[in-house]
């Protein structure tokens, strides 16, 4: 079966696109799927460090596009999961080194090799974003419950609709249940009211995301992590499973769980 191409975008930077790509990829691969993720952020590559694969890079996306290597040579195999691959961005070039049709060609060649192709879109709505979206079968938009992330997500959702890449699915990342409870953070329902698109994941704020990226080990493999579990659920929903959304605990219990994990 040919792979599905899923692009993860957001508009605003820093909302957790790269973290989402790494974790959804790991979650899919841990469920026996063959996964390739592509870092679309040429010039500002990061997916390699978040996945802990920075020391294995020989060739990058631009090398492939410009014909200096074959597809298999640009696919870096993950340390833990045998059917997880990374195609890294070039660090010393810019977005114009790759065109939307290059991305379509790459994905067409990749489709027969894997089950899922995840593309990490750069922030913004310019060339890098257009490259990342061109080959997409579906797009996930990551946002945070704050005014600027929601506004930028709305712009991106509008552009995806106009380019017939919609309807996008929404990942609401970094939800802080105690702030929502005291009325100082937009709730999941507020964000859905505003953006009016389908939800595919709610990820609670979790300090362990930073710990995991420090180590280069995405936390989707940690069964104790709430955020990791949320990413596993997104992977299951992508695979067509009907998974209920996590109930975000009341602050007391949430804190207790965090406390227990740190022991």
Q: Interface with another protein by CB under 8 A: which residues?
A: 146-147, 150-151, 154-155, 157-158, 161, 180, 182-187, 190, 193-197
* Residue whose CB is less far from another protein, 196 or 210: 196
Q: How far is the CB of 197 from another protein (least distance, A)?
A: 7
Distance CA 104, CA 11 (A): 21
Residue 91 structure tokens: 């660090």
Q: How far is the CB of 144 from another protein (least distance, A)?
A: 12
Residue 47 structure tokens: 């997916």
* Residue whose CB is less far from another protein, 114 or 191: 191
Block residue for tokens 């996964």:
35
Sheet with 169-175, edge to edge strand ranges: 76-77, 84-87, 35-39, 116-120, 4-9, 138-143, 169-175, 198-204
Q: How far is the CB of 143 from another protein (least distance, A)?
A: 11
User: Helix, strand, coil proportions of the chain in percent (round to 5)?
Assistant: 45, 15, 40
Residue 176 structure tokens: 């802080």
Residue 154 structure tokens: 């709305």
Q: How far is the CB of 177 from another protein (least distance, A)?
A: 13
* Residue whose CB is less far from another protein, 18 or 143: 143
- From residue 135, alpha-carbon distances to 110, 203, 244 in Å are 11, 26, 29
* Residue whose CB is less far from another protein, 159 or 227: 159
Q: How far is the CB of 141 from another protein (least distance, A)?
A: 12
Q: Are 186 and 154 in contact (CB under 8 A)?
A: no
Q: How far is the CB of 165 from another protein (least distance, A)?
A: 14
* Residue whose CB is less far from another protein, 82 or 167: 167
- From residue 202, alpha-carbon distances to 58, 151, 228, 262 in Å are 35, 18, 11, 22
* Residue whose CB is less far from another protein, 105 or 151: 151
């Amino acid at each position: 079966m040919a792979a599905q191409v899923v692009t993860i975008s957001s508009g605003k930077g820093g909302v957790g696109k790269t973290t989402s790509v790494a974790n959804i990829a790991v979650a899919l691969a841990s469920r026996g799927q063959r996964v390739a993720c592509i870092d679309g952020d040429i010039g500002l590559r990061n997916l390699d460090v978040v996945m802990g694969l920075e020391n294995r890079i020989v060739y990058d996306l631009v090398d492939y596009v410009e014909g200096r290597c074959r597809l298999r040579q640009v696919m870096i195999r993950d340390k833990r999961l045998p059917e997880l691959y990374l195609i890294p961005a070039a660090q010393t070039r810019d977005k114009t080194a790759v065109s939307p049709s290059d991305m379509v060609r790459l994905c067409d060649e990749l489709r027969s090799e894997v089950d899922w192709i995840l593309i990490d879109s750069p922030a913004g709505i310019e060339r890098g974003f257009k490259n990342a979206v061109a080959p997409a079968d579906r797009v996930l938009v990551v946002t945070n419950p704050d005014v600027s992330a929601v506004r930028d997500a709305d712009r991106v959702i509008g552009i995806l609709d106009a380019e017939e890449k919609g309807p996008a699915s929404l990942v609401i990342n970094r939800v802080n249940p105690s702030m929502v409870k005291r009325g100082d953070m937009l709730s999941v329902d507020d964000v859905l009211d505003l953006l009016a698109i389908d939800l595919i994941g709610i990820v609670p704020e979790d300090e362990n995301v930073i710990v995991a990226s420090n180590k280069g080990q995405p936390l989707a493999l940690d069964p104790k992590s709430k955020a990791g579990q949320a990413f596993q659920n997104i992977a299951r929903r992508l695979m067509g499973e009907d998974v209920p959304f996590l109930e975000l605990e009341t602050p007391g219990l949430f804190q207790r769980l965090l406390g227990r994990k740190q022991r």
